[in-house]
Structure 1
Amino acid sequence: MLTVNEVEKFILNLVKPITDKELVPLSQATNRILAENISSSFDFPYDDNSAMDGYAVKYQNVAMASQDSPVSLKIIEEIPAGYCPQKTILDGETSRIFTGAILPQGADSIVIQENTQREGDQIKVFASPLKNEFVRYQGSYYRAGECLLSAGYKINPPEMAILAAAQCLEVPVIRSPIIAILSTGDELIAPEESMEKGKIIDSNQYLLASFIQQNGGIPLSLGIIPDHPLALENAIKEALNQADWVISTGGVSVGDYDYVDQVLEKLGGKIHVKGVKMKPGKPLTVATFCHDKLYFGIPGNPVSTMVTCWRFLQTAIEKLSAKKNYSYPSIVKGITFNNLRSQGTRETYVWGNVSLIKGHYQFTIAKGSHNSGNLVNLQQINGLAIIPINTNLIEIGDDVEIMLVNN
């Protein structure tokens, strides 16, 4: 059985990033992965403009201005943002200017209004600016024709603003991965069905769909599949035909009704991982089919499902989505406020909450019973304390590695 780190490397080596592209309207580009380098025909800023409210001046006219020896200038024009200056600044002249407004010809610096006193069409300047102070020069942020945004990066709010400023109304993005979800088990019922003794409501469909959406994928929920080899075979065939990847929950342990692995092999899948030294999450199957399709058979207990997603699938989906700077799980060092126990045979993940106090991470275990079926105390957690293999106890106040989640 492989270790957690070995499985992580194995999975990432199997992932082949999507190369299909599509154009989407700018309004729909948030959280997508840019498929091509973007350039603009505009300089940024578009023109020389003022960074402050004040007066546009020739520096040489005000270089000697001081409180004791102010310089007087004549106001020849007022320039609000969005207005094109009509006059050129000559010696002894100035224009009233506002933040974002175009700098008039002849001016090279801005005197902020706090350092002036206005009297009719004249001002007195009581302090000299630095030369070029508070002027944002055309092209100082970006030159037209150069690469503005690089392919392979996620479009976050700043990138959205840049695309808008460049008038990129249709954005080339990587096609979002489609990931099919199957829940296996005769005991499962959908949330809208009437509850019966011995049945369990299938929460994993919703957990996985939310997780996939949160990480930029498109979930394809194919419902509950009974514990019957033929039903499972047909469902997996359908899923492989419709999706880039398939995730199923349940049916990958060693019970009499766990058929996933044998069905995968019958369908021509190559199984690369059969179990991981991890708690919760030990019964993990990873298989590949032709055309680089991956199949993940993960445990059915909801905490195991969630921990497996956080530990392995989040990074894998980012790589599948062609994100260049895909991120590995964020693991930090902190101290624990609880005793953390493990049998020591598997890398154990204990869920709870992390606080950053005076630059130090502190971990507190979630209240309630800690077993892989207790979905309730998973709510609002933001960290998983990691107990290494061959460690049975991490005592209160000891150092512990913590994997940050939901951040």
Structure 2
Amino acid sequence: MSAASGAPRMSWARAREAAFGAADPRPATRVALRDAVGRVLAEPVLALCDVPHYASSAMDGWAVRGPGPWVLRGAARDASALEPNEAREIVTGGLIPSGAEAVLRSEVGEVAADGGDAGAPVLRSTVTPWAGQHIRPRGEEFARGEVGIEAGVRLNPAHIAVAAACGVDDVEVLARGRVSLVFTGDEVVTHGIPAPGTVRDSFGPQLPAFVELLGGEVAAQARIGDDHDALVGALLAGASTSDVVITTGGTGDSSADHLRGALERLGAGILIDGVAMRPGGPSLLARLDDGRLLIGLPGNPLAAMMGLLTLAAPALAALGGRGMPELSRIRLGAPMAAGRGETRLVPFRLVDGRAQPSGFTGSAMLRGLADASGVLLCADGGAEVGDEVEFVPLPWV
């Protein structure tokens, strides 16, 4: 039941769809290459030049023309053309002189001090180089105008190097939903071992990283006590710099829970007032008067993480112009007990190719999630060994 209205909570599947449908995609944006790792390309990267953009040596040695022996001419950086049976010293990556047919490795050549034309040194080798040997041709990887990286790719450091080689300075990437985080609670301590009656903050160190893994961008963070006016002020902040506000705690109806009162005072509309899931049932989704979404997470750590996967993951995917996060299926290696009319979300480990449900599933427990392979979705009727069930993939697995 909803904590505020007594109405039935929304089903897990419907809540997820509703969260996805509540967010509109933000426009794509351009970012510098140094900021692009982990971002998803909105447009393909095209080679602005041939890659490589000049023919170069793959070895230290000599650029040669003809079968040899060769008269050494010019310095290593000399740009003049080679004539037949001439050679020039060259280093790896060096520009191949016009007329050169191959590169002779330094290990297989020997230079005589004289004996050439006008006393010039002569290069001899027992190896006859073949045409193109140890030469990296111009355009060997990409021709100018060719697609270097396809749209839709999540960029890794190697992609950044490819884009740079293609002459690109910045790339068009899908947007990220901008998130303001509001941590609440008088009993929360941020350092050391908490005294009885207080709890160590588990949200501050991990929630920003979790949001980033879900495709969001943390724009602001605030920490307040259990105070109505302070919460209203925190929700009003950042209206122009965030798309979503995520709060922790305060989703119940006790005297210390102020979220619903703050939403009413701000004229917000509650879209999801609780989800029929365990843990995380008190999670809610609202629309603030300024158009931003608000996702209210319960104060217990595992419950909050399940709320994040259920509501925030779809909303952030929609804001980023991506599709609904997909579910997967796996067979159970152990039975799951029947529920109480809601979807049970149970972290599991992969053991011998099957899902082994965690025994640490209390709302305040994070041990099971910390080493989980994913989160099982168990319907009200439970499931038996060998049954195939859906699961939510974790963004860090």
**SS state at 1:88 partner:** coil
The question of whether the paired residues in 1 share the 8 Å contact of 2:81 and 2:99 is answered with no
The question of whether the paired residues in 2 share the 8 Å contact of 1:75 and 1:123 is answered with no
Match for residue 348 of structure 1? 344
Match of 2:369 among 357, 367, 378: 378
The question of whether the paired residues in 2 share the 8 Å contact of 1:78 and 1:97 is answered with no
Change (3 A) 1:138 1:22: closer
Counterparts of residues 362-401 of structure 1 (less than 5 Å): 362-366=354-358, 369-379=360-370, 381-395=371-385, 399-401=388-390
Change (3 A) 1:14 1:142: farther
Q: Following TM superposition, by how much is the alpha carbon of 1:382 offset from its aligned partner in structure 2, in angstroms?
A: 3.7
The question of whether the paired residues in 1 share the 8 Å contact of 2:46 and 2:145 is answered with yes
The question of whether the paired residues in 2 share the 8 Å contact of 1:363 and 1:385 is answered with no
Give me the CA root mean square deviation: 4.3
The AA in structure 1 aligned to 2:393 is L
Change (3 A) 1:294 1:388: same
Counterparts of residues 128-207 of structure 1 (less than 5 Å): 135-144=135-144, 155-165=155-165, 177-185=177-185, 188-192=187-191, 195=194, 197-207=196-206
Change (3 A) 1:203 1:51: same
Match for residue 328 of structure 2? 331
Change (3 A) 1:189 1:330: same
Q: Quick check: 1:209 aligned with 2:196?
A: no
Unmatched tracts of structure 2, length 5 or more: 1-8, 113-122
The AA in structure 1 aligned to 2:136 is R
Which stretch of the first structure deviates more once superposed, 197-206 or 252-261? 252-261
Match for residue 18 of structure 1? 26
Change (3 A) 1:101 1:89: farther
User: Deviations for 1:248-301, whole angstroms, at most 9, x for unmatched residues?
Assistant: 122324556544335324423232222333332222211223554111012221
Q: Following TM superposition, by how much is the alpha carbon of 1:134 offset from its aligned partner in structure 2, in angstroms?
A: 5.5
Match for residue 104 of structure 1? 97
Which stretch of the first structure deviates more once superposed, 235-244 or 4-13? 235-244
Q: Following TM superposition, by how much is the alpha carbon of 1:46 offset from its aligned partner in structure 2, in angstroms?
A: 1.5
The question of whether the paired residues in 1 share the 8 Å contact of 2:31 and 2:171 is answered with yes
Match of 2:54 among 42, 47, 65: 47
| Structure 2 CA distance for aligned equivalents of residues 99 and 388 of structure 1 | 60
Q: Following TM superposition, by how much is the alpha carbon of 1:45 offset from its aligned partner in structure 2, in angstroms?
A: 0.7
Unmatched tracts of structure 1, length 5 or more: 62-71
| Structure 1 CA distance for aligned equivalents of residues 72 and 80 of structure 2 | 8
Q: Following TM superposition, by how much is the alpha carbon of 1:137 offset from its aligned partner in structure 2, in angstroms?
A: 2.8
Q: Following TM superposition, by how much is the alpha carbon of 1:246 offset from its aligned partner in structure 2, in angstroms?
A: 0.5
Match for residue 68 of structure 1? none
Counterparts of residues 255-270 of structure 1 (less than 5 Å): 258-270=257-269
The AA in structure 2 aligned to 1:73 is G
Match for residue 305 of structure 1? 304
TM-score (norm 2): 0.73
Q: Following TM superposition, by how much is the alpha carbon of 1:371 offset from its aligned partner in structure 2, in angstroms?
A: 0.7
Alignment identity in percent? Answer: 24
User: Deviations for 1:8-32, whole angstroms, at most 9, x for unmatched residues?
Assistant: 33222222333485766x5455445
The AA in structure 2 aligned to 1:88 is L
The question of whether the paired residues in 2 share the 8 Å contact of 1:387 and 1:394 is answered with no
Change (3 A) 1:274 1:79: farther
Q: Quick check: 1:123 aligned with 2:125?
A: yes
Match of 2:82 among 72, 88, 91: 88
Match for residue 66 of structure 1? none
The question of whether the paired residues in 1 share the 8 Å contact of 2:344 and 2:380 is answered with no
Change (3 A) 1:340 1:79: farther
Q: Quick check: 1:6 aligned with 2:14?
A: yes
| Structure 1 CA distance for aligned equivalents of residues 63 and 324 of structure 2 | 47
The question of whether the paired residues in 2 share the 8 Å contact of 1:280 and 1:372 is answered with yes
| Structure 2 CA distance for aligned equivalents of residues 389 and 37 of structure 1 | 42
Change (3 A) 1:15 1:75: farther
Q: Quick check: 1:293 aligned with 2:278?
A: no
User: Deviations for 1:153-198, whole angstroms, at most 9, x for unmatched residues?
Assistant: 6553124324544566677778865422223445x32325995543
| Structure 2 CA distance for aligned equivalents of residues 137 and 272 of structure 1 | 60
The question of whether the paired residues in 2 share the 8 Å contact of 1:180 and 1:245 is answered with yes
Q: Following TM superposition, by how much is the alpha carbon of 1:376 offset from its aligned partner in structure 2, in angstroms?
A: 4.0
Match for residue 73 of structure 1? 68
Change (3 A) 1:392 1:23: closer
Aligned length: 377
The question of whether the paired residues in 2 share the 8 Å contact of 1:55 and 1:97 is answered with yes
User: Deviations for 1:207-251, whole angstroms, at most 9, x for unmatched residues?
Assistant: 3223234545125222134164x4433332235465331011223
Change (3 A) 1:309 1:50: farther
